[in-house]
Amino acid sequence: MNEIDRPIRRVGLGIGALFLVLVGQLTYVLVVRGDELADDPRNVRVIFREFTQPRGRILTADRFEIAKSVPVDDEFEFQREYPMGPLFQQVAGYQSIVFGNVGVERSYNDQLLGRGFDVSVGDAADLLSNRKRTGDVVLTLTRTGQQAAADALGGRKGTIVVLDVQTGGIVALYSNPTFDPNVLAGHDPEEVQDAFEFLNTVPDNPMLSRGYRQLYPPGSTFKVVTASLGLEAGVTTPTEPVYPEITELALPLTANALENIGGNLCGGTLFESFVRSCNTTFGQIGLDLGDRLATGARTWGLDDGRPPIDVVPGAVESIGPAPGAFKERAPEFALAAIGQGPVAVTPLQMAMVAQTVANSGVMMTPHVMQEVTDDRGRVMERYQPEPWREPMQAGTAAVLNDMMRAVVTEGTATAAQLPGIAVAGKTGTAQVAGAEAPHAWFIGFAPAAAPRYAIAVLVENGGDLGSEATGGAVAAPMASAVLSTLLAPAPAG
C-alpha cells in the first residue's frame, strides 16, 4: 500500500465506523425506545395526532362535565374545554399543545381516546364508516363535595381531601389557590407559554396541588398514628399507665424540653391525653416506642412508598423519623410523636389515616376513576377497590374511633360537631419553621358509628386567625361544613 492510499483507507474506516454507530443508534431508538418516544407527551407528532382526534369527556360521579372537546376551525380540529374552570383543575389537569397532558388527562389518555376498547358486532358500522371512538372517564369526585370544599376554604390558602371510607375513592380534593386550566389548553403556543410562565411566578403557586403534592408538619393529628403504634406495641393502653400532669417533658441528650400548648398542665391516661392533646404524654410515648415509632410509621406509608393515586404526576411520599436513629437522636422521636420535627406529610396521607381508623384498620388505595364508558354509554372499565396497607388491628381502630369521638364531643374539636350525627376527629396546630403562624389541621370521619366519609383539612399559616389559630378554631368548622353537605339527605323527587 503506497503512502497516498494509507490516509484514504483511514478515512474510509472512520466513515464505516461512524455509519455503524449511526445504524446502532437508530436501531436503539426505533426498537428499544420506540414505544416510549411515541407515547412521550412532548413528542410534537403525538400532540398533533391527539389534538386532531375526538376525545371523550371527564365527568363527576354526579355526571357534571369537567372536560370536553368541541370542534374548532383550525389545524387541530378540536379544542379542549373545562366548563368548571378552576374547581377540578388539580385532578382533571389539562391538555396542552405546549406542555402535553397533566392529571386525569394524562393518566387516562388512552381511555379518553377510545383506545383498547373491545370491538363488538354492533360496532361494525363504526368500523366501516371510519368513525372515531372515544371514552368518557367518570370520576369518584362529586361536584357537590368539591364545591363544598371550595366554599369551606373560602379563599384561604390550604386544601381539603375527602375519601370514601369503604373504597378509598376520592370524593373531593380541592386546594386553594388554583387556576383556570383553559388558559393552558389554547391553540396559540405563545399565549400558552406566557400563561404558564405567569402562573409559575405567582407567589402563592396556584399550580401546586397541595392535597397530594406538598408536605406539611401534621402537628397533633399525627397523635392518631402514635397512639395506634403505642397500643399495638403494648407500650400503652387506653387506661394505663397514667401519665403525669406536667407542663413540659425533659428531653434526653439535651437541655431542652417539650412543652404543652400554652404551657398548660396536661396528662392522665392515654384516652384523656388524646382528648386533651397533651404533648408531654405523646412525647413520652414516642420515647417509650423508640425505633418502633420509625418502623411503625412505615406501616402507615411514611418513607415506604407514595400513595398510588391514579393522577399524573402522582403523590409525593410522606416522611417520618429515621429507623435505627433513636439512640443518637432521641429528642427527634419525641417531636415526631406529636407530628413535628422529622415528620412531614401530605393532606392526602392524613385523610388516609382517618380513613384507616374508620375502616377497621384497613387503608384503601386512593383513586379518582370510578368507571370508563364508551361513547355509547357502555361500561368498558370499572375501578376495583383494593387495600394498600393494614397498619393496625380492628380492635386498635375501634379504640381510636372512641377516642376520636370524644375529641369532638368534649375535646379540642367541638366545632366539628353535626346535629344528630356523631363525628370522630383529631385537631392539629402545627408549628412551621421560620413562620409565626401555625398550620391548622383537622382529620376525622362521619358518621362515627357507620363511617362513610373521611376528611383532612389543612389551612396554611392559620388562615384568618394567623398566629392565634388552632386546628379546633379554624379547620374543624370547615370539616363540619363539608361533612354536613355530603351527609345531607337527598332532596325529594
Q: Which of 166, 36, 242, 92 is nearest to 452 (CA)?
A: 166
In whole angstroms, what is the distance from residue 225 CA to residue 204 CA?
Answer: 30
Strand 58-59 versus strand 158-164 pairing type: unpaired
Q: 118, 130 in Cβ contact below 8 A? A: no
* Backbone dihedral angles phi then psi of residue 151, each to the nearest 5 degrees: -65, -40
Report the first-to-last Cα separation within the chain, whole angstroms. 100
Active site residue 220: yes
Strand 439-446 versus strand 266-268 pairing type: unpaired
Tell the residue number behind the cell numbers 363504526, with chain if given. Answer: 126
Q: Residue 433 contacts by C-beta under 8 Å, 6 or more apart in sequence?
A: none
Q: Which of 335, 349, 231, 338 is nearest to 276 (CA)?
A: 338
- DSSP E strands: which ranges in 238-310? 243-246, 248-250, 257-259, 266-268
Which residue out of 69, 220, 277, 318 is catalytically annotated? 220
In whole angstroms, what is the distance from residue 386 CA to residue 359 CA?
Answer: 12
In whole angstroms, what is the distance from residue 73 CA to residue 71 CA?
Answer: 7
As a dihedral over the C-alpha atoms of residue 432, residue 173, residue 88, residue 65, rounded to 10 degrees, the angle is -170
Q: What are the catalytic residues?
A: 220
